[in-house]
Structure 1
Amino acid sequence: MKNRRSFLKTFSLSSAFLLSGEAFSTTAFLESRNKVKLRFLIASDAHFGQPKTDFEGMTSSFIKNAKEIHKKQKLDFCVINGDLIHDKPEFMPQAKANFDGLPTSYFVTKGNHDRISDQAWLDLWKMPVNHYEEKDEFGLIFGNTSNEKGEYLSPDLVWLKSQLEKAKALKIVFIFIHIPQMKWTPNAIENPAFFELLKGYPNIKAVFHGHEHDQDGIKTHNEIPYIFDSHIGGNWGTEYRGYRIVEVLKNGDILTYMMDPTNKILEATL
């Protein structure tokens, strides 16, 4: 019997490749950096407050590195894609005070360890757990995949469809959710309805996940990339604590690479 995931592709990105499989030159890749229309940083899983970890030091190091990136190549915004804290609500204001040190405006999503109520989230972050934003012609959708109990959930598909309809005229839409919605990894859930919904919107150019600290690659389904970004905190995962940069070029190409946390690795074009 065929593995039911045979239609999935997991990409090893140790070299720069187009997701279609076509290689492109390093020179062309570097030259394209001068034609960036939008650049953002995405990180996840700070786990601020986790016992027996240097959570303050790890968060401080991440913010320092983000500032260095911003000096060298201007960031338009940052995203912290879930698990800002580790279970205890009293750490959330302190985590926010740290992330307020980022060099740009930033957005946040709720992860399974962010165990505060939706109202408390809104009061503190001044954005709801389900949030839509437009940056010029780019649609940004931030969806909630957990609750105060820390359960793994589907995003609100009715709400998500309404936002996708709102962004239908845009050329590029990015979705940010913490919990992966297919069992690519042990800590994901199985949610076919999510993928069925997204299939009807060809302007979705990527879905970004946190949650899986040991994942820093890209998977694809129905031609949509599902992208992971390692972790900036916590006590498990990739050997490095890293984050991802995404660049949209003026010609419409989308480049991405990981920072490990100070060197560029795993470069790819979406």
Structure 2
Amino acid sequence: MMNRREFFRGISAAIVIQAAGRIATAATRKDFQRKTVFRFAIGSDWHYGEPGTQYEQFYHDLEKAFRTYEKENPCSFFVLNGDVIHNDPAFMTPASTLFKQIHPRVFATRGNHDHVTAEAWQQAWGHPLNHDVVMGNNVILLGDTADIEGNYLSPDVAWFREKLEQHKKAANIFIVIHITPVKWTKHGIDAQEFQTLIKQYPNIRAVFNGHDHQEDSVKYLDEKIPFLWDGHVGGSWGVDYHGFRVVELKDDGSLLSFVMNPYQKQGELTFKRAKANK
């Protein structure tokens, strides 16, 4: 009998995260036809400057694919979820300058290959390493999960606790962090304090990870909080394509998500909101 993990790995259709404590289901035509009230895109792991790779061409390929998609499906912003560059801090300014051309509103998180200081990050991206963005009744929490030497870190629990409390009445919270904070993957970590914290907030709709280039799937924390990956937009390893993930909030409160590969949809699922813990 196929288990849940195998089932999700085999899906090549979208994700619907709906509002009633049910796990993701394969998206239907009806899910796609629902009105979208909020949409954004997310990619990760560009590795600008990695020797032996066409890192600038990777951006231009991504930009072309994203503009093709966004022409008929406007996005509120694009997030680059970590490993913007490949180790050398000198790459950060040219990388951020180029990537900001993809959309009028761009955010980024620091990954383990982004060996830059907090000050250099602020200068390059215009926002701090830990950063919250409010768009209507939706909140995006972008968290740092590495240090300047590339060591893997748990998300900053104190900062996340403060922001989750501050935004506990928001309809939807989306968390964006580079390092996987659950030991599901070879390069993930077991950030138990962070796991315990986020399980207390039922308005967290999804957590987005980068780092694990070979992952473009969804996994669940306590069968309630979906964690989603998007493969990679650059670098020399991982899934056999460069793509990005799209997330759509529908007018019934459900989320629809899929990966663009990079011109075709795959992994289309619908997510329902998890019930609060008793």
Give TM-score, length-normalised by structure 2: 0.90
The match for 1:11 is: 8
The match for 1:110 is: 110
- Give the direction of change, closer, same or farther, for the CA distance of 1:146–1:25 in structure 2 (3 Å limit): closer
Q: Does 1:47 pair with 2:47?
A: yes
Moved over 6 A (4+): 6-10
Superposed, 1:82-231 pairs within 5 Å as 82-222=82-222, 223-231=224-232
Q: CA deviation at 1:97?
A: 1.6
The match for 1:252 is: 253
Greater Cα offset, 202-211 or 181-190: 181-190
Q: CA deviation at 1:7?
A: 10
Q: CA deviation at 1:123?
A: 1.8
Q: CA deviation at 1:26?
A: 3.1
Q: Is this contact kept in 2: 1:70–1:103, CA < 8 A?
A: no
Q: CA deviation at 1:8?
A: 7.7
Q: Is this contact kept in 1: 2:141–2:176, CA < 8 A?
A: yes
- Give the direction of change, closer, same or farther, for the CA distance of 1:261–1:24 in structure 2 (3 Å limit): closer
What amino acid maps onto 2:155 in structure 1?
P
Q: Is this contact kept in 2: 1:48–1:91, CA < 8 A?
A: yes
Q: CA deviation at 1:16?
A: 4.6
Q: Is this contact kept in 1: 2:81–2:111, CA < 8 A?
A: yes
- Give the direction of change, closer, same or farther, for the CA distance of 1:116–1:10 in structure 2 (3 Å limit): farther
Note the residue ranges of structure 2 that are not aligned, 5 or more in a row: 272-278
Q: CA deviation at 1:191?
A: 1.2
Note the residue ranges of structure 1 that are not aligned, 5 or more in a row: 1-5
In structure 2, what is the Cα distance between the partners aligned to 1:245 and 1:23?
16
Alignment RMSD: 1.9
Q: Is this contact kept in 1: 2:259–2:267, CA < 8 A?
A: yes
What amino acid maps onto 2:96 in structure 1?
K
Q: How many residues align?
A: 263
Q: Is this contact kept in 1: 2:15–2:267, CA < 8 A?
A: no
Q: CA deviation at 1:210?
A: 0.3
What amino acid maps onto 1:239 in structure 2?
D
- Give the direction of change, closer, same or farther, for the CA distance of 1:53–1:15 in structure 2 (3 Å limit): same
In structure 1, what is the Cα distance between the partners aligned to 2:15 and 2:95?
36
In structure 1, what is the Cα distance between the partners aligned to 2:164 and 2:104?
26
Q: Is this contact kept in 2: 1:9–1:219, CA < 8 A?
A: no
- Give the direction of change, closer, same or farther, for the CA distance of 1:90–1:169 in structure 2 (3 Å limit): same
3-state DSSP class of the match of 2:247? strand
- Give the direction of change, closer, same or farther, for the CA distance of 1:96–1:134 in structure 2 (3 Å limit): same
Q: CA deviation at 1:21?
A: 5.8
Greater Cα offset, 58-67 or 243-252: 58-67
